[in-house]
Every structure is written in C-alpha cells, then in structure tokens.
A = this chain, B = another copy of it.
Amino acid sequence: MDIMNEKVKKIIEFMDKNSIDAVLIAKNPNVYYISGASPLAGGYILITGESATLYVPELEYEMAKEESNIPVEKFKKMDEFYKALEGIKSLGIESSLPYGFIEELKKKANIKEFKKVDDVIRDMRIIKSEKEIKIIEKACEIADKAVMAAIEEITEGKKEREVAAKVEYLMKMNGAEKPAFDTIIASGYRSALPHGVASDKRIERGDLVVIDLGALYQHYNSDITRTIVVGSPNEKQKEIYEIVLEAQKKAVESAKPGITAKELDSIARNIIAEYGYGEYFNHSLGHGVGLEVHEWPRVSQYDETVLREGMVITIEPGIYIPKIGGVRIEDTILITKNGSKRLTKTERELI
C-alpha cells in the first residue's frame, strides 16, 4: 500500500471514529496532498467506505488522470457531482469550504450534518516526510539564490518592481513554478510596511530595503527575508538591525522538539521588548511552511502547538517604525531530532 493510500486510510479511521458517512476534500493543497493531482479549476475528493475518488470538471480530466494516484471521474456540471453524494447524511468537510457550497450541499445533495476534518489533515501535513523535506530544501535553495540576486540588483534609482521582476524571473528559470507569494521589495519608508509588495517607488541611497520572497517548487513553498541598506547604514538602522538579528538567532537556536510555538515566539518577542521596541514588532514570529506558504503551526502567542521533528517553520522577527523604516530577518527552518536546521542559508550579517 503506497503513501497516498495511507493518507486515505487515516481519513477513513477518522470517519469510523466519528460515525460519518463520507469526507469531501476540496481545498487545493489537500487535494494534491491526497491525490497527487492539482486541477487548476478545482476538484473534489470524495472518500466513502473504503474508496477515494477525485471528481474534476471535464476540462481537467485528461491532466488529472495523468497525475492522480486515486481514480478520477469527470463532471460537466455540479449537479452531476452532487449525484455522487446520494445517500450521504453526514459529511466531513474542511472549514475553508465556502458557505455557499455548504448551502448547495444541504439543498441539492440533502446532507444533514457537517463535521470538520481539518485536524486530521493538519496532523498529517504538519509533519513533513523525507521526500517533502527534500523538495522544500530545493525550494529554499531557489529562494537563497533569488535573495542574493536581489541584493545585487538593488541600486539607487531602480524601481522596487524591477528588482522583483528580475528575481521572480530567476526563480522560474531555476525551476520554480512561481513565486510563493507576491515578492516584497520594500524600500525606505515602505520597509516599515510588513507587507510592502514591490511598487513603483524608486530605491534611494540610505534606504533600508526589506527583501521577502519565496519559491513554489513542485507544490512546496519556501520563505526568506533579508534586509539591507543602500550605502552606509546610520546608527539607528544598525541598532534595530542588531536587535532583530539577535532575536532571530536566539529563536532559531531555541527551536527544537518539545518547545511550544508560543514559547518560541516569546523568546524573540522578549528580546525585542527588552530593547524597548516591543510595540514595533507587530506580527507573529513565524508560521509553518509546506504546500501552503502559511500553514501550521502559527508561531505566535496564540498557538501552543508543541514542536516536533519534521515540522518546517519560519522564524521572522521584525521591527517597523512607521514613516522611518523597518528590518526583518527570516529563515525557513526544519525541526530536527535534537534542534533545528536552517533550510534557507543566505548570510544574515548584512548590515
């Protein structure tokens, strides 16, 4: 029995334990995780009894058959798919399923009861297999190269967007399917915006520039941030850089099986707060990375997940002073048996 069937088996166990008739998987990363197929126009895995079938719109049929590890059926319109649900009263679903779709399932497929299956899928996906780790390492390698290229590309007078265009091109030429997310090249006052996607702003001398990018490679993501200064840094820039660097290094060193996500967040947060910049670190320390660029665990004050070997997370503290500028340093790391290992490897001492 191959790994794909092991995943279906775990879902069937969940069905038995919770006395539900079937499970419907609709979220793209989950459909890929279970079937190996990733229909662009969407697809639905229906698990009933002991079998799993992937249903796709007609135009995805040929490709899905090529990719899928489970049987594939096609449908012309949704009503044909609803027929496959006949007789099912209680259905396991993902909590991301749209409200409108739930209404249709109630009305057209006569489903009476819904039960969330998020936890069973999270528990599988949160621990990466050796094969998954190899792919993520490659995604990180592509991101490392892109960050180095960005650092070379960033010069006075250039537009943020031009730098982003170049590094995204390189990522794709290096095998990435696409950027893991909109590349952030945020310079000067824009570096204080944690999500400052590359704009038409021109980069100026003296600017802090936050470079935050990732590659999607064979369905898996990477995520890295580096911050540089164009020209020589001033004292303030050096000061906040050193603090963020200390917090990032300490958190990476502290990451290991047994510590909770919340504790790890606190380690970095406390360092930044001790230097008096607590209010300027306005996001969580990190997040899981895998088929989604933001997944479990959330490395934040609100997630008490105990870290385990095989988890892949980011560590990305930052300090953002509105109108002035910001610094963020981020690596994607793997939780190992006794500690952690940085999967993104670009040098961190850049200012």
Which residues of chain A have a CB within 8 Å of any CB of chain B?
Answer: 39-41, 57-63, 77, 93-103, 114, 116, 118, 161-162, 164-166, 168-169, 172-173, 175, 177-179, 182, 192-197, 200, 282-283, 302, 320, 322
Contact = CB atoms under 8 A, between A and B. Distances in A.
Contact of A97 (B61, B99, B164, B320): B99
Contacts of A94: 99
Given A93-B99, A100-B116, A169-B169, 20 more contacts: A40-B182, A40-B195, A41-B195, A58-B282, A59-B194, A59-B283, A62-B193, A95-B103, A97-B99, A98-B99, A99-B99, A99-B114, A161-B172, A161-B173, A165-B172, A165-B173, A166-B169, A168-B168, A168-B169, A178-B182
B40 A197 contact: yes
From A58, A96, A98, name the one whose CB has the most chain B CB atoms within 10 angstroms: A98
A168 B164 CA distance: 11
From A165, A283, A322, name the one whose CB has the most chain B CB atoms within 10 angstroms: A165
Contacts of A102: 99, 102
A266 B168 CA distance: 40
6 contacts: A40-B197, A59-B282, A62-B193, A97-B98, A164-B172, A177-B197
Counted per complex, copies of this chain come to 2
A349 to B, nearest CB: 26
From A60, A166, A178, A322, name the one whose CB has the most chain B CB atoms within 10 angstroms: A178
A41 B93 CA distance: 24
A284 B195 CA distance: 37
Contacts of A166: 169
Nearest to A161: B172
A320 B62 CA distance: 10
Contacts of A101: 95
Given A168-B169, A172-B161, A60 B195 contact: yes
Nearest to A173: B165
A189 to B, nearest CB: 9
Nearest to A178: B182
A185 to B, nearest CB: 11
Contacts of A322: 62
Nearest to A199: B177
A75 B196 CA distance: 19
4 nearest interchain CB pairs?
Answer: A95-B100, A165-B172, A169-B169, A40-B195
A192 B97 CA distance: 31
A117 to B, nearest CB: 11
B96 A195 contact: no
A94 to B, nearest CB: 8
A175 to B, nearest CB: 8
Contacts of A59: 194-195, 282-283
